[in-house]
Structure 1
Amino acid sequence: MKRILLIFIFLFSLNTFCQTIEGTVFDENKMPMVGASVYLDGTTIATLTNENGKYFLSVKSKINTSLIIRSMGYETVGIANPFENNNRKIYLVAKQVELDEVVIRKDYFTRSQKMQLFRDQFLGTTKAGKSCKINNEEDIEFEYDYKTNTLFAKSDKPLKIDNPYLGYQIEFDLYEFYVKFRKKSIKNEDVTKSLFLGTTLFNEINKEPKIKKIRDIVYNGSSMHLFKNLSENRWGKDLFLLFKGGFQDIPENYFTISNEGKLKKISIAANIKYEGLLAGSKPRFYADFNFLYKKTKQSKVIFLTNVFYVDEYGNNSDADKIEFGGDLATRKLGDMLPMNYVP
């Protein structure tokens, strides 16, 4: 009887800490799709649909991310709340082939110059960023708008990236990329704002202990680290310090933390709303703070929302409404770790 009881307790523990995301993928003719890629965006958690079009993903904890379903020749599908309404039926639609309009105009910058700028603003210029290699750069297309001094980039195929510094291979589905300049330029020093959006799948290719140490170094002081500490109300000179108006301040004066299921709800005090200049435009932003990590690395964080959620890994729910300056702004794709990374 004791042996049976121990086995029961062990199985109960597994069920408590694991959750399965499952569903079935069909094409537009309602036929099951075999070999479609299914993954949680920004993580290492991925699988392929089986011969019946079914997929199963085992997840230890809820993550602030979307479920991505992708197959060559079909439109990619993203599900915003994959941990709710499980066992879905998903129908993929074939991509419509569209021919881009060919416009002949004088180009002041070479493809080589644009590609170098793309690498700098997409991968980053840190040690991790410079170590990365995009294996299919030929799939990237560029357009420079000389009226707005903006460089755009797109790719119809996922970018395949090697990151030997952190021991990952990455597939990045590029949805949007642009870089704005203060004048007609292709130089980093003239950049006023850059943005890239897309879905990311990490594949771990190196599990050596020395790589794990490097990942932990990159994690420390990152946005994940900052938001995890914020959600746990952990501050200090060896962690992060908050500054407002040039003076160190108490985070509790500005942030209220409450439990929302397995997530932490972060609310910003209602009496610090501003309206000011942000990246060349005049949107209303809610608050901005400076954060100092270990007295050396300073970052500015601008919140375009007054409420957001943080999971146990430190991922926030409103990445498109939180902008960074300073040290955190230098950390591009090359310094990104999987959203399910545990230091």
Structure 2
Amino acid sequence: MNKKKWMRKGIALALSAVITAGIAVPPATAEANTGRIIGAIIGGAAAADEMNKQIKYYNTTEEGRQALFQELQEKYGVYYRWDLNSQLDRIFTNLTAAIGSMDATVYDRPYNYFINQQEGFNAFCTLGHNMSVNVGLYSYLSNEDEIAVVLAHEMGHGQKDHPAKGMKRSLGPTILANATGTVLGAIAANIWNGQGLTKPMEWEADNLAFEYISRSPYNPGATAAVWQRVIDLSGNNSANAFDIMSGAADHPSNSSRRDNYAKKLTEMSGGKVTVDDGDVYVNKKRLLTPAPAGGMSSAERAYFVMGNLAAAYRNGHAASAAYADGRTVMLGAQPIISCTDGDTSAAEIAALLNQIK
């Protein structure tokens, strides 16, 4: 084997070991040792060139991304439960179609995905449109619409190639020039903790998720509702035990992300619908305050009602009369809320909606 081929093989093996480590950052000693191997092989611009070639291999070639997918499965284990896997298949089918309606490149690299055996509340998208959902996520989210928002956000990262861009950014020219173990640490952290992902990237993924969800069968209000749920469970501080859609030090706060989606829902409704502290307003007049139900807070449910109302206005259903269909309030063909024992009756809500809509 000539020197050039040996050099490339060494870099490929070192980088492969780190990238496929995925979520868990390797021990510092292992990073340093592997880093010294890389440094001994090449340095400076040559290191950057080889690293970028390997990133491209795992990110864009079918062979590379399938190899990475297999190694991720081996590393973190595959969790299988028929209902959860069927739901995941359904979500990816729906979201792929939604993305395809505005970005046909989604079909160039179909997403690979699996549920892993990690118990933390997380999901991630890494090189090659390889995605995974921790089984622990299902301990916190059970609503399919909210789970779809999480995955839509990650697919937004994937569609804009944020994992590769963030990886290159996090490596940095100084680190690449030195070719130390820090390179490997940065690569591994990029997969789990979102290192290299910037606040603009996060906002872009959030905004794309709204577009994707709005083009899917899911309630667009779930975009705000899932962040309300995170706030209810863990507060507004983004630096907490909940790593979902987070990790970078400069991430937006949970409330700012929720409020960004709420603003978009108001815009979708033509300025008709707002939510304030769990109260749902139509034309600045209070319509209802949902009771806590089904494991959701009043505020979380309010955003689902907001999403249904926004969809009704967007799709022209608001021109029809509201009515009660059993315990469900309908606005034209659009369901608005399925009332529980703690809610105002469907008939009363429908009557008030007709007065203020």
Query: Considering the TM-score relative to the shorter chain, is it more than 0.5?
Result: no
- Please give the TM-score of this superposition, normalised by the length of structure 1: 0.27
Q: Which structure dedicates a bigger proportion of its chain to helix?
A: 2
Structure holding more strand per residue = 1
